């Protein structure tokens, strides 16, 4: 859905100058989103007031934070930041905030429309489906280095910036974008613990309309991806990637691991899908799991408020499923999204080198020659 939206943006952008959008973003949004003009005229946002930041108040979330803000002094050993910390530092110039909301197809939710209705002040939209590999039919696979650099540059992000990513569920698709930045060598990236729901529950302001600049950047990021894959030149690139191949696995590596068992394989899907007793949400995909893998549904990494469990709680969860913190781990899921939540939890425990199987079950289950295991009660595949 989001990709279709951005495609319409690019079409509109050919006929509307950037100055026109910037001068009257509400009118542009009204035409573009097919909503009445008056609904965009008065954003539902109260005046932003910077709170007083108390040193040490966020010690359990980010180590080394000081009143004199710098993302370079923030700890990358913690993968999340609290809403209180972000609220205190939201206006810092070297901090960029991304709304990376994405939903399962059967949820019938449009993340870009929801971004337009309510997002954190100054946040830009990161299109999980759009900023992806255009050479495969698999959904939202990791793009090439050149494509990612072009898209992120179009969003106005530079290597000097710290990046905080959030989503509309709490911790869901934001973890995927956190992982993407890390794969491309940018460690100064964090997930907002509890996401937009936690932010709103804390009484913090949201914006209810996108500025002309935000619209242009979202459009430019999508256009940049298209140009790279079409072999066309793109605009200035301000973000330099440093690819980290150890953080991403391919089908061939997972195949080899079923024989060698060098890594403990954890699947983030539901137990029913893992056991093969529930059908996959995408057509043509067999049910079951990779032989030798273990199931820890991603929701077990989170508490009832959709925030990441403490280190002790996470350690207990993994140990209960027979996962040793002394051995390497690989994670997978349906399409490489919720596997990143497992990687997020493992990162909190000090395992910062966990690879994600990008194609995950959608790729594995669609192959004719990949082995599939099911629970004893499930029919064989």
Q: Please pick, among 295, 333, 340, 381, the residue that the annotation labels catalytic.
A: 333
Edge-to-edge strand ranges of the sheet holding 189-192: 80-81, 189-192, 162-166, 95-99, 124-125
- The residue written with tokens 């273990």 in the block is 294
**Is residue 295 among the annotated active site residues?**
no
- The residue written with tokens 């019938």 in the block is 108
Cα(209)–Cα(198) distance, rounded to whole angstroms?
20
Cα(120)–Cα(165) distance, rounded to whole angstroms?
11
Would you please indicate which residues are annotated as catalytic (active-site) residues? 333
């Amino acid at each position: 859905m989001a990709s279709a939206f951005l495609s319409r943006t690019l079409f509109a952008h050919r006929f509307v100058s950037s100055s026109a959008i910037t001068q009257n973003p509400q009118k542009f949004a009204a035409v573009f989103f097919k909503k009445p003009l008056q609904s965009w005229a008065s954003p539902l946002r109260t005046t932003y007031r910077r709170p007083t930041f108390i040193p040490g108040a966020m010690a359990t979330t980010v180590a080394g934070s000081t009143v004199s803000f710098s993302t370079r002094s923030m700890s990358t050993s913690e993968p999340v930041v609290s809403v209180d910390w972000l609220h205190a530092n939201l206006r810092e110039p070297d901090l960029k905030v991304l709304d990376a909301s994405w939903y399962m197809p059967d949820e019938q939710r449009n993340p870009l429309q929801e971004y337009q209705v309510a997002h954190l002040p100054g946040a830009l939209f990161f299109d999980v489906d759009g900023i992806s590999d255009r050479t495969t039919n698999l959904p939202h696979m990791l793009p090439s280095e050149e494509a990612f650099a072009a898209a992120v540059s179009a969003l106005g992000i530079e290597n000097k910036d710290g990046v905080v990513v959030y989503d509309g569920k709490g911790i869901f698709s934001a973890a995927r974008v956190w992982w993407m930045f890390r794969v491309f060598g940018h460690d100064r990236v964090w997930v907002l613990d509890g996401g937009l729901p936690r932010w709103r529950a804390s009484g913090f302001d949201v914006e209810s309309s996108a500025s002309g600049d935000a619209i242009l950047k979202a459009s430019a990021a999508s256009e940049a991806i298209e140009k790279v894959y079409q072999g066309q030149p793109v605009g200035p690139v301000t973000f330099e990637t440093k690819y980290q191949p150890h953080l991403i696995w391919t089908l061939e590596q997972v195949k080899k691991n079923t024989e060698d068992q060098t890594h403990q394989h954890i699947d983030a899907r539901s137990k029913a899908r893992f056991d093969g007793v529930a059908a996959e949400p995408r057509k043509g995909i067999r049910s079951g799991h990779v032989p030798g893998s273990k199931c820890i549904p991603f929701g077990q990494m989170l508490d009832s408020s959709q925030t990441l469990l403490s280190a002790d709680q996470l350690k207990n969860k993994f140990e209960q499923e027979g996962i040793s913190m002394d051995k390497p781990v690989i994670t997978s899921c349906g399409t490489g999204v919720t596997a990143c939540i497992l990687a997020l939890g493992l990162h909190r425990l000090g395992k910062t080198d966990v690879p994600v199987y990008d194609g995950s079950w959608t790729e594995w289950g669609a192959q004719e020659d990949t082995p599939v295991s099911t629970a004893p009660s499930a029919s064989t595949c």
